[in-house]
Amino acid sequence: MKVQPQQRVIGMLGGMSWESSAQYYRLANELLRDRLGGLHSARVLLASVDFAEIEQLQVAEEWEQAGDLLAEVAQSLEAGGAELLVVCTNTMHRVAEQIQDAIGIPLLHLGDTTARAVTAAGLTTVGLLGTAFTMEQDFYRDRLAGHGLTVLVPPADDRAEVHRIIYDELCLGQLREPSRQFYREVISRLVEAGAEGVILGCTEIELLVAAADSPVPVFPTTRLHIEAAVDLSLSP
């Protein structure tokens, strides 16, 4: 009998929004199928929270309360058999340390997986697109800077519209051509400011924006994150 490859169980803390969490699940299974062949699929536990509750805490800047909520869900995933954890959102890595402190399994930090991809491409200066929280607060930019990267963000008006499109359209499954064109223009302005590549630093953005929309390499954080998770799940 052929020995089956061992897989660690990937815990996915999702629902923020479910539109991108669905991509996490799809990509995990596609990657396992491509790597192992046959009928192989990923060993996954998915816990999906109510994003409306999380979004209210974001706006109220109740980050500790949001962290407590997500930490409790992460503990349930660990109790259910998850052997590693991915938090399926860039913004809520604002509370990644709080979540990691609550569990005994490794949390695969999205900022680290993204930064490694950027440095592997030989780039040092990148533009960052994401929610206003991700673009404006230190938690994500500092994580990238810790890998030696210089991070550029759009000006205030552009940041506001990038954020609005994420919450008012992408999180609701709405993909609009005018919004895609706006993102293209923002990317062009980042390139003019010196960006050698652009991080799609919200897991919904790559539903709308692809490599063809940018004159420089883009780094799709959802795909990079789940590729790293699958690598870890298959490692000895």
Which residues are known to be catalytic?
89, 202
Tell me the C-alpha to C-alpha distance, in Å, between residue 101 and each of 62, 67, 75, 95, 109. Answer: 18, 11, 10, 10, 13
| Token pair for 232 | 């870890």
Q: 124: left (phi > 0), else alpha (psi -120 to 50), else beta?
A: alpha
Residue 155 DSSP code: -
Q: How far is Cα 110 from Cα 112, in angstroms, rounded to an integer?
A: 5
> Residue 99's CB: how many other CB atoms inside 10 A?
23
Q: How far is Cα 219 from Cα 205, in angstroms, rounded to an integer?
A: 11
Specify the length of the chain in residues: 236
Name the pairing type of β-strands 218-220 and 197-200: parallel
Contact 124, 150 (CB under 8 A): yes
